[in-house]
Amino acid sequence: MKRIFFILLILATLLTTALVATRAVLAAPQHKGTSVLSGVVIGPNDRPVSHAAVTYQSSAGMAPHAVHTDARGHFTIAKLPGDAYDIRASANGIFSEWEKNVYIRSGETKTITLHLIYAKQMPKSVATSKSK
């Protein structure tokens, strides 16, 4: 009887571990493409910004995801499907403008530069649309 209980306990533990691992994989962004979007984030002082957040989503409505720049201000988003993407960077409360419809073909690597700007430097069209 103790042997059967021990075997059932081991099976239950293995099943629980497998379920937790499956949920973690499903919760992660599932990119299945061959395209790469990389670049650098430049701050208002014209220097690369380390640990800036880079938010991206497909122009067609894929849920937004984020990556962070490395110590040299560089980021890489790999395994993207060919599509048009909207991308923006932020750090310390300062944002870049949205780069809209950045098109990447399947298998292509595209490099962009995102410039963080202060709110007073935002184009008037952005400032007026936010105040409405």
Which domain CATH number covers 43?
Answer: 2.60.40.1120
Shared domain check, 98 and 47? yes
In a domain, 131, yes or no: no
pTM equals 0.67
Question: Beta-strand (E) ranges in the chain?
Answer: 35-42, 53-58, 65-68, 74-80, 83-91, 94-95, 99-104, 109-115
Q: What percent of the chain has pLDDT over 70?
A: 70
Pairing of strands 94-95, 83-91: antiparallel
In a domain, 98, yes or no: yes
Domain of residue 23: give its range.
1-30
Per-chain mean pLDDT for the chain: 81
How confident is residue 62, by pLDDT bands cut at 50, 70 and 90?
A: confident
